[in-house]
Amino acid sequence: MQLITLECRELAGRPGAITRGGEILDLAAAPTTLDQAQWIPHSVVSILAAGEEGRERVQRLLDGAAAADPQQLRDAGVLLPMDQTRLMAPVRRPGLVLLLESDRADVGEPDPVAYIKSPNTVVGPATTVNVPWRAADGLSARPLLGAVLGRPLHLADAEEAASAIAAFTLLLDLSRPHPGGMMDVAGWRSYMDSKQFPGACPVGPALVTVDEFTADAGLTMALTVNGIELTRITRGRDDLPATLARLSKRFGFRPGDVIGFDLPLGVDDQRSFQGGDLIALELEGTMRLETTLQF
């Protein structure tokens, strides 16, 4: 299933799920309307943390919506149109956003190279991001596959790490271009600081739960700029648990944390972008993250 967070008066947003018809079921309003057991999820994270039981409860609500009169649900504000509904990042405020600079063996590092991105950088889909420097100074827009955790994880093995991954999403890591070569402490700090401006981490639009993918299936992603496809690649999942287990030796994780895994796209992600450029990352035709740049 695909879980989203609706923008609303509540600061944390409202959890929703995408129906087979492509509409949004407001999960905070659906239980009373559909005469289900009184279970109202507070957020998508609470659904993920409930594991299989959480997914089953959401599926019952989706099944109830499919059997009901759709117009009555629309009139009640329970069933919402996708193209007219504003979404937040699916995880409104992750406790930890940990991005991998690279987790590929050819880098030669003994452990994955990772850094923390402030939760304040996270924005939702279809957002215009104001880059706080001139377009002439360049921009790195690095696409990553986000694994969202559904349970705590620390000092774990690969099997435990695999069971902790509850969903996948898409994200972009925006920053100044990497200067290349070795950097001194001041240069590294400046580079890392450039990753922390508001909007520097678009995420979404949805969380696709792991049960949507077969165990050995790769994840195919396409990257486009202004509608022109730059590359398409399939990222395997077999190595993700082992990498996550290694990270758990250094970090303690909680439900809702997002780990961004490197995509070996084979294209230069440090381009000469202009104001108004539209970057899009698509996962297997399942979801599409779009971000517009403004300098």
Contact 199, 174 (CB under 8 A): yes
Using one digit for the tens of pLDDT, what is the confidence trace for 139-175?
999 999 999 999 999 999 999 999 999 999 999 999 9
What average pLDDT does the structure give for the chain?
Answer: 89
**pLDDT tops 60 at residue 34:** no
Strands 258-262 and 139-149, bridge-based pairing: antiparallel
> By percentage, how much of the chain surpasses pLDDT 90?
69
**pLDDT tops 90 at residue 275:** yes
| Its pTM surpasses 0.85 | yes
Contacts of 93 (CB under 8 A, 6+ apart): 12, 119, 122
Contacts of 139 (CB under 8 A, 6+ apart): 131, 174, 175, 176, 177, 270, 271, 273, 293
User: What amino acid is encoded at 115 in this protein?
Assistant: Y
Residue 268: predicted pLDDT: 60
Using one digit for the tens of pLDDT, what is the confidence trace for 279-289?
999 998 789 99
Using one digit for the tens of pLDDT, what is the confidence trace for 217-235?
678 889 999 999 988 888 8
Query: Token digits for 274?
Result: 């202009």
Q: 270 falls in which pLDDT band (50, 70, 90)? A: low
Give the start-to-end residue ranges of the domains of the chain: 2-84, 97-294
Q: 111 falls in which pLDDT band (50, 70, 90)? A: confident
Torsion angle of alpha carbons 237, 241, 243, 244, nearest 10°? 120
Using one digit for the tens of pLDDT, what is the confidence trace for 48-73?
999 999 999 999 999 999 999 999 99
- The CATH H-level (homologous superfamily) assignment of domain 97-294 is Fumarylacetoacetase-like, C-terminal domain (3.90.850.10)
